[in-house]
Amino acid sequence: MKSFTGRKATLAAGIAALIPFAAHAQTPRELPPITAEEQQPDTAPSQTTLSGEQLQQRQGQTSDSIALLSGEPSVSTYSNGGISSLPVLRGLNSDRVLVTVDGEAITAFCPNHMNPPGSYVLANRVSAITVSPTLAPVSAGGDNIAGVIAIDSAPIVFSGSGIIRAGEVGASYRSAADALGATVSGYVANERFSLGYDAAWTEADNYRTGGGDRVRSTAYQAFDHTLTLGFQPVEGHEFSLRVGEARVPYEGFPTQRMDMVDNYSVFADAGYAGAFGWGQLNADLSWRHVDHEMNFLEDKGGAAMGGMPMLTEGEDISARLSVDVPLSGGAVRAGVEAFQTRLDDWWPAVPMSMMMGPNPYININDGQRDRLAMFAEWQAHPSAQWTTNAGVRFERVETDAGDVQPYSWVMNMMNMADINAANAFNARDHQKSDDIVDAMLSAVWRPNADTALELGASRRSRVPNLYERYAWGEGGMSSSMTALAGDANAYVGDIDLKPEVAQSIAATLRLGTDASERSLTLSAYSSWVDDFIDADLMANLANGFVQLRFANHDARLYGFEASGHVDLWSNEAFGEGRLRASIAYVHGENEDTGDNLYHIAPLSGRIALDQSVGRWTNTAEIELAGEKDQVNALRHEPVTGGYALAHLRSSADFGRWRLSLAAENLFDTRYDLPLGGVSYGDFRAGGSVPPIRALPGPGRSINVGLNVSF
C-alpha cells in the first residue's frame, strides 16, 4: 500500500455553479410550514427546503442529519447506525443519491457504508437541508442517478456596521436510547471579517423497542466542530475558510457483521464568491482525510482477543470553478469540477489466529477514483408565466487499484477461495475509464401566484464505487465484510461493471402555497435504469445468508407523491390550526430477473394537526406504513407488517430561550422498520440461530430540548 504522505494532487480547476433553484427563508409566520419554506419564483415545485422553525422542531428528535428528512414525500431512509441514515430518493438509494455538506461531496470510506456524508455533520448543526429529486439541475452535481440532498451548516455572517456578536448553547435528551446531546455555536463579525465556531456532541445507549426490549448494536458516541473564517474586502466579494474535525469513538451497526470502533476526519474548505458587472464567479477548493476502523463492540462479542480489525484510510480533494451570467430573460451557468479520491483498505493480521494471518489482508490497495466534469446550463423566462432549465454535463471518471493479497498464501481449505481470487484479480488490468453524459430539461408554468406545474426529463449517470469494482475476496468470511446494503449478506466486486444510466420523467403540480388557506402538491415519476448495479447469486452461506456478486441489470421504478394542507381555524382563543397530510408510493423492479429492487419503501403517509397559539407551536401526528410484502428475494429481505405510530410535539419560543418537548411513538407500539434490514446484532447475541428477523424500530421516546441564545 502506498502512503498518502507527499502525494501530489493534480486537479483541473472546477466549478460548482450556484444551484439555480436555491430557496431562501420566507417572512416568518406562526404556523410551521407544510414541507418547506414558501416557494420563491425560481424554486421548482418538486424541490423541498427545510429551515427555520420547521427544521428546529425536527432537530429535537434526532442526532441524524439525514433523518431530518423523515416524512418528506420524496424521501425515505434506512438504518445505518445511529448517526447517519442512508437516504432513498424515489426508490433510488445509497451512492445513487448525491449528499453534499456545505457544497462538498464526501466519499464513504468503508466497505459497509458506516461513514456516509451525512455522518460528518450532526443534526443540530444543520441550518438548512434541500432535496432535489429526479430533476436536479446539472449544476447541482453529477455522479448520481437519484438527485441531490444539500446539507448546509451555519452561514458566514458579516455586520452592516460595527461589531456584532451572537451565540447559542443547547442540550437535549431522548429517553428511548437514553441519548444526550449538546451544542455550542457563536460568531463575532464586523463589515470585513467574520469568525464563527460550531460544535456538537451526542451519545446514546442501545435503543428500546415498543415493549422495552433493547436493540443490540445501536449505541454510539460522536462529536464534530468547525471553525469558520470570512473576509469581505469590498462589498460583493467574499472569501471563506472552513476547517474542522469529526470523530466517532464508537458506533454500533445493528444490520452489519462489524461495528465502527473509530472514525476520525479532518477537513478544510476554501471558497471565493465575487460579483462583477458581467455576473457571478465562484471558486472552491476542498480537502478531507479520513481514518476509519472497524471491529466488534461488546454486543457482537467485543475485541478482547484482537477480534478482526479492519482499517481504512481515505482522502478527497476537489476543486470547482463556476460562472453565472445573467442574460435578458434568464441566466447561463457554466463550469468545471475535478475530484480526486484515494483509498487504502486493509485488515491487519491477528496474532495466533490460523485464519486471519500471518499477513495483512489487502482489500483495496491504492484505490483511485478521479472525476473531471464540465457543465453548461441555461435558465430562461420565455414569458412571465414560464421558466425553463436546460443543462448538459460531461464527466470522465477513471478508477484503478493495485494488487492485493489474502491473509495467507498457504493453500488450504480456509484460504483456497481467497488465494484463487487474489491471483485472478492480480492477473488483470484494474484501470477503467468511463465517459458519461448527463442532461436535464424542465419547464415550470405559473399561470398565477398559487399555481405551478413542473414537467421535465433527465438523464443521469453514476460510475461504480471502488468497493463495487475492486472488493475481490471470494471466501465466505472475507466477502461478508463487504455489505453496503445492510443485509448481512456477502458481496464480491466486479472490475467490469458498467456505469448506471437513468432516464427519468417527472411531473409536479402545486396548487396553493404555504401562505394559502389550503394547498395540494401532486407528483408522479418514472425512471428506466440501464445497467443498474444489483447482484447475482454466487453461493448460499450458513444460516440463510447468501454470497452475491455485484452485477449490471436493467431496472424500472415509478411512483407518486401527494401532500397538502388546509387551515381549520384562526381565532384569539385557540390561535391558528392547520391539518397536513402526505402519502407516497414507489415500485422498483429488476427487469432482467423480475425480482423487486432492494430497499423500496411500502405505501406510507402522515397526517398531522398543527396549532400555533401565543409562544407555543403544537403538533399531533400519525405516521402510517403499509405492509412491506414486495421484498427482494435474492437478498432474503424480510417482510414487515403495516403500522401506525402516534407522535406529540410542542415547542415554545421565549426570545432567548427555546424549549422543545415530544413524545415519539406515544403508545409504545412494537413494529419493524420496512427498510431497516436485518437485526444482525440481536441475531448474533442469540447464538446465530435462524431465522433472522427484521430490525425493530424505537419504542416510546420522551424528548426534551433546550436552547439558549446570547
Residue 215 host element (H or E): none
Tell whether the model's pLDDT for residue 469 goes beyond 80. Answer: yes
Tell which wins on pLDDT, 52 or 604.
604
Assess contact for 578 and 568: CB atoms under 8 A: yes
**CATH 1.10.3720.10 is held by the domain 48-151:** no
CATH architecture of the domain 152-709 equals Beta Barrel (2.40)
Average pLDDT of the segment spanning 635-661: 96
State residue 16's pLDDT score: 30
Helix or strand or coil: residue 512? coil
Helix or strand or coil: residue 407? coil
Q: How confident is the model at residue 6 (pLDDT cuts 50, 70, 90)?
A: very low
Query: How big is the chain, counted in residues?
Result: 710
Report which DSSP code applies to 358.
S
Alpha carbon 592 to chain centroid distance?
Answer: 28
> How many other CB atoms are found less than 10 A from the CB of residue 61?
21
Tell whether the model's pLDDT for residue 25 goes beyond 50. Answer: no
State residue 34's pLDDT score: 32
User: In which residue are the cell numbers 494471518 written?
Assistant: 357
Assess contact for 39 and 499: CB atoms under 8 A: no
Average pLDDT of the segment spanning 490-518: 97
Average pLDDT of the segment spanning 482-492: 91
Q: How many CA within 13 A on the CB side of residue 12?
A: 14
State residue 2's pLDDT score: 40
Tell whether the model's pLDDT for residue 15 goes beyond 70. Answer: no
At 498-508, the pLDDT tens digits run: 999 999 999 99
At 93-116, the pLDDT tens digits run: 989 999 999 999 999 999 999 999
Q: Which residues contact 495 (CB under 8 A, 6 or more apart)?
A: 425, 428, 430, 432, 469, 470
State residue 42's pLDDT score: 62
At 393-436, the pLDDT tens digits run: 999 999 999 999 999 999 888 899 999 999 999 999 999 999 99
State residue 269's pLDDT score: 97
Instruction: Write down the domain spans for the chain.
Output: 48-151, 152-709
Assess contact for 597 and 589: CB atoms under 8 A: yes
Tell whether the model's pLDDT for residue 14 goes beyond 50. Answer: no
For the chain, how far is it from start to end, CA to CA, in angstroms? 50
Tell whether the model's pLDDT for residue 8 goes beyond 70. Answer: no
Tell whether the model's pLDDT for residue 3 goes beyond 50. Answer: no
Edge-first strand order for the sheet with 97-101 is: 48-51, 128-133, 147-152, 97-101, 104-105
Q: Which pTM does this prediction carry?
A: 0.92
At 47-64, the pLDDT tens digits run: 999 998 889 888 888 889
Tell whether the model's pLDDT for residue 478 goes beyond 50. Answer: yes
At 683-696, the pLDDT tens digits run: 999 999 999 999 99
At 200-258, the pLDDT tens digits run: 999 999 999 999 999 999 999 999 999 999 999 999 999 999 999 999 999 999 999 99
